[in-house]
């Protein structure tokens, strides 16, 4: 028994040992865990503090772009032609949105998009954090959308280009795309000048991605520069109205008009038909985007006869009182025949212009030689860029053969065998109007007088202007008479060129002129393409537009009337000649 009683005493030693060992293990593990936690805290708070702070900021602090305000385009008097208005752009974070959200029905209705398409987009881009819902909409509409309270839908401010004059200035001003980058016209030519530099700022956002606080401005937005055009919006409206009325009345294919300031070379008005409204491009026809005054070339026809006459007078071989025999009313050059409307017999230099005699002017050109006529054309800017920097400007063609055939000299004298645009023709007539100085053409308002180049003498240009006055008084241009002001100009009628050469039944009617004739203020070129009402001569379709526009334009410019008219014009009636 004594042996049995001693057995538990021998077993109690190992049990205590095991308990101590277990306690030591538990304490050791606890201390190890505590040490690990302490080390991790030290690691987080000291070693990785900068990294963790940055990662936290990434999830709450964002850098947002500050859109720059695009520069304003104005006319010469400061009237806005293109402005950027604040609008709202709606975007969504598909990763935070439920494609089955019931309120998406109202969202789709407000934005004018198909509900099924919207839900499908959200499903397709569920892994992304950004998609556009609708860009550049009215702030009131954006507020209605935000009032729906849909999680994941956000709004931000942008700018949208607006054109107060609409289609009236569309071909000059042009337009921008949705990102406010110039696509046509002066918006494209001066895109870098008009565009601003976007800025950026650091903002704090909540867990819904909404900005709740501006933290810091990183870089301020730099607005674009303004652009002051030479266009006079009053004259632009006037020119557009009259040209459009004539094109509609004649059922014409189109038309062009350019008005230049005689003493500066500034473009006061430039309009075309057809046109487009840059504020509503839903029905935009690409054909109407061209500014035909600078992009479309044509043969100027009889409007070049006064310039050929200027070359003759400048040569010293001809004087105003000289007479030219145009009998028998035509000239043959091999298989080519040049004709007048009838046999005018012996004509003075003035009457060659008044009656628009092809025979008379071609005889003079053959006597002068093709190089003499071409040289003056070139010095007037024909066959050369105008320098306005307008996108798509066409230079035209001014032939320069090694040697001239007589028929080439003849046709060059009355505006065939070369091509130019309406602005180049206006520039040439500007030199006749201002006493012989060729100024650079400008679509920007000039703050100081430009430096010009003398091309013709004052004596010669005064003699040619007297001839142009006679055209309006008693020649092919009597319908260009502006009433209270004296005017001068020249008609032109040319066949349009089609895919297979000249179109027999399609014409361009042209009138180029100036007023008041003694001290011209404005030069205007009018061209009407393919009139269909039966009238197509320049004196019938283009001259009346010139008369109406010049009469009102000179009054708007405060030019004192020269004539007193009671009842009807005291000018002689139409002579019956057509040009």
pLDDT in tens, 77-88: 999 999 998 888
Quick count: other Cβ atoms within 10 Å of Cβ 488? 29
Q: Is the dihedral of CA 445, 449, 454, 460 positive or negative?
A: positive
Of the candidates 302, 357, 413, 470, the residue annotated as catalytic is 302
In which band, very low, low, confident or very high, does the pLDDT at 403 lie, cut at 50, 70 and 90? very high
Residues 126-154, mean pLDDT to the nearest whole number:
89
Query: Is the pLDDT reported for residue 284 higher than 50?
Result: yes
Query: Across the chain, what does the average pLDDT equal?
Result: 88
pLDDT at 442: 97
The yes-or-no answer on residue 302 being catalytic is yes
In which band, very low, low, confident or very high, does the pLDDT at 570 lie, cut at 50, 70 and 90? very low
**What digits encode the pLDDT tens for the residues 9-62?**
445 556 666 677 777 777 778 888 887 777 777 766 665 666 656 555 555 666
What residue has token string 């397709």? Answer: 124
pLDDT at 136: 87
Q: How many angstroms separate the CA atoms of 222 and 556, rounded? A: 38
Instruction: Measure Cα distances from 264 to 77, 413, 449 in Å.
Output: 16, 28, 6
Contacts by 561-564 with C-beta closer than 8 Å and gap 24+?
A: 561/484, 561/485, 562/484, 562/485, 562/486, 562/516, 562/518, 563/483, 563/484, 563/485, 563/486, 564/484
pLDDT at 21: 76
Query: Is the pLDDT reported for residue 256 higher than 70?
Result: yes
Q: Which of 10-24, 126-140, 149-163 is predicted least confidently? A: 10-24
Share of the chain above pLDDT 70, in %: 85
439 φ, ψ to 5°? -100, 150
Q: Is the dihedral of CA 426, 427, 430, 432 positive or negative?
A: negative
In which band, very low, low, confident or very high, does the pLDDT at 253 lie, cut at 50, 70 and 90? very high
Share of the chain above pLDDT 90, in %: 65
pLDDT at 2: 45
pLDDT at 449: 87
Bridge partners (DSSP) listed for residue 524: 259, 513
CATH topology of domain 233-277+292-556: Beta-lactamase (3.40.710)
Computed on alpha carbons and rounded to an integer, the radius of gyration of the chain in Å comes to 39
330-333 and 336-339: which strand pairing?
antiparallel
Q: Which two tokens stand for residue 101?
A: 């959200």
In which band, very low, low, confident or very high, does the pLDDT at 351 lie, cut at 50, 70 and 90? very high
Query: Is the pLDDT reported for residue 292 higher than 90?
Result: yes
pLDDT at 46: 62
**What digits encode the pLDDT tens for the residues 314-326?**
999 999 999 999 9
Q: Which two tokens stand for residue 421?
A: 């645009």
Per the model's pLDDT, the better-predicted residue between 497 and 3 turns out to be 497
In which band, very low, low, confident or very high, does the pLDDT at 490 lie, cut at 50, 70 and 90? very high
pTM: 0.82
CATH topology of domain 63-228: Penicillin-binding protein 2a (Domain 2) (3.90.1310)
Q: How many angstroms separate the CA atoms of 209 and 170, rounded? A: 41
pLDDT at 196: 78
| Fold: same for 63-228 and 233-277+292-556 | no
Per the model's pLDDT, the better-predicted residue between 23 and 131 turns out to be 131
- Map out the domains of the chain as residue ranges: 63-228, 233-277+292-556
């Amino acid at each position: 028994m004594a042996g049995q009683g001693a057995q538990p005493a021998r077993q109690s030693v190992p049990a205590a040992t095991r308990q101590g060992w277990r306690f030591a293990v538990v304490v050791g593990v606890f201390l190890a865990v505590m040490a690990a936690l302490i080390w991790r805290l030290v690691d987080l708070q000291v070693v990785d503090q900068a990294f963790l702070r940055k990662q936290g900021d990434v999830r709450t602090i964002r850098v947002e772009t500050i859109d720059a305000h695009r520069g304003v385009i104005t006319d010469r008097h400061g009237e806005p032609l293109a402005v950027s208005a604040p609008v709202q752009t709606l975007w969504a974070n598909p990763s935070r949105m439920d494609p089955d959200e019931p309120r998406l029905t109202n969202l789709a209705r407000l934005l004018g998009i198909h509900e099924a398409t919207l839900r499908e987009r959200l499903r397709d881009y569920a892994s992304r954090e950004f998609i556009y819902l609708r860009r550049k909409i009215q702030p009131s509409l954006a507020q209605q959308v935000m009032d729906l309270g849909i999680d994941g839908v956000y709004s931000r401010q942008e700018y949208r280009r607006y054109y107060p004059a609409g289609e009236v200035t569309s071909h000059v001003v042009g337009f921008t795309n949705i990102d406010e980058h110039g696509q046509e016209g002066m918006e494209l030519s001066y895109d870098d000048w008009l565009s601003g530099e976007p800025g950026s700022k650091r903002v704090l956002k909540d867990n819904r991605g909404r900005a709740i606080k501006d933290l810091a401005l990183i870089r301020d937005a730099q607005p674009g520069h303004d652009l002051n055009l030479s266009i006079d919006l009053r004259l632009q409206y006037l020119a557009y109205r009259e040209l459009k009325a004539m094109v509609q009345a004649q059922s014409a294919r189109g038309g062009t008009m350019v008005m230049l300031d005689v003493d500066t070379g500034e473009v006061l008005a430039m309009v075309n038909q057809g046109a487009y409204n840059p504020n509503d491009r839903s029905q935009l026809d690409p054909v109407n985007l061209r500014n035909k005054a600078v992009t479309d070339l044509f043969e100027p026809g009889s409007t070049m006869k006064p310039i050929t006459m200027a070359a003759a007078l400048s040569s010293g071989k001809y004087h105003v009182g000289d007479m030219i025999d145009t009998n028998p009313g035509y000239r043959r050059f091999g298989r080519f025949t040049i004709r007048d409307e009838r046999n005018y017999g012996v004509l003075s230099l003035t009457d060659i212009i008044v009656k628009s005699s092809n025979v008379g002017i071609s005889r003079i050109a053959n006597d002068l030689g093709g190089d003499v006529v071409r040289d003056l054309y070139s010095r007037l800017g024909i066959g050369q860029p105008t320098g306005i920097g307008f996108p798509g400007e066409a230079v035209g063609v001014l032939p320069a053969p090694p040697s001239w055939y007589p028929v080439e000299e003849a046709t060059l004298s009355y505006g065939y065998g070369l091509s130019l645009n309406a602005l180049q023709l206006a520039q040439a007539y500007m030199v006749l109007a201002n006493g012989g100085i060729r100024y650079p053409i400008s679509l920007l308002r000039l703050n100081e007088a430009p430096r010009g180049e003398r091309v013709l003498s004052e004596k010669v240009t005064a003699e040619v202007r007297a001839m142009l006055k006679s055209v309006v008084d008693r020649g092919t241009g009597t319908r260009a008479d502006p009433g209270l002001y004296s005017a001068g100009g020249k008609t032109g009628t040319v066949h349009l060129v089609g895919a297979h050469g000249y179109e027999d039944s399609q014409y361009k009617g042209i009138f180029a002129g100036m007023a008041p004739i003694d001290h011209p203020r404005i030069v205007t070129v009018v061209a009407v393409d393919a009139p269909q009402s039966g009238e197509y001569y320049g004196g019938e379709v283009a001259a009346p537009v010139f008369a109406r526009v010049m009469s009102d334009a000179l009054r708007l410019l405060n030019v004192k009337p020269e004539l007193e008219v009671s009842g009807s014009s005291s000018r002689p009636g139409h002579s019956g000649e057509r040009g």
